[in-house]
Amino acid sequence: MAASLIRENETIIIDSGTTTMEIAKNLYDFQNLTIVTNAIDIAPEVSKYNRFNVILLGGHLRGPSLSTVGPLAESVLKVCYCDKLFLGVDSFTIGKGISTPNAEEANINQTMISMAKECIAVFDSSKFDKRSFAFIAHVNDINAIVTDEDIPPKLLSELKKRDIKVHLASYR
């Protein structure tokens, strides 16, 4: 579902995470993309296509998420204007927005949002109505959400009121 939102010749950021890895595995229809990522496991996945320009951000390796974080990663990212960001999300509430357990992850995610024309949050419904330690962004800072069909109807209605596009992926 998320990969279908990409257009040929775009420059995209793919954040670290298991859901964003699924995006990386589903780019076979594209011939020309520039992919910026802080995920050390996603970089080799997208390089398998042998036709994309892949930029792996340096920085401090955060083992639990297999991602790079910190000032070095952020400084490189700040020179990359991108069309779309696919942001993996740990926790999401309408009132408090998007958050993560790690402050360095929050910082790199904030920089990603600032460098992308469009922010697409990708996560399953188990992340709804949860808040973690480090704030990333308010709900209105994202343009779209890709999630599964188990999104609570009240939440879906609230997101639509805020003009946030919601794309529902089916398990079936």
Cα separations in angstroms, 71 against 1, 46, 62, 111, 159: 32, 24, 13, 10, 33
Q: Kindly give, in sequence order, each residue whose CB lies less than 8 Å from that of residue 41, ignoring residues fewer than 6 positions away.
A: 16, 21, 66
Report pLDDT for 43: 98
Alpha-carbon distances, residue 9 vs 6, 42, 45, 82, 134 (angstroms): 9, 19, 19, 11, 33
Q: Give domain limits for the chain.
A: 6-169
SS3 category, 157: helix
- Over residues 34-62, the pLDDT tens digits come to 999 999 999 999 999 999 999 999 999 99
Q: Residue 170: its pLDDT value, please?
A: 81
What's the pLDDT at 172? Answer: 59
Predicted local distance difference test score (pLDDT) of residue 130: 95
Quote the pLDDT of residue 24.
98
Output the pLDDT for position 64: 85
pTM for the predicted model, two decimal places = 0.97
Between 3.40.50.1360, 2.160.10.10, 1.10.3720.10, 3.40.630.30, what CATH number should domain 6-169 receive?
3.40.50.1360
What is the mean pLDDT for each group of 10 consecutive residues in the chain (172 residues)?
97 97 97 98 97 97 93 97 97 96 96 98 95 97 96 94 94 64
DSSP label at residue 1: -
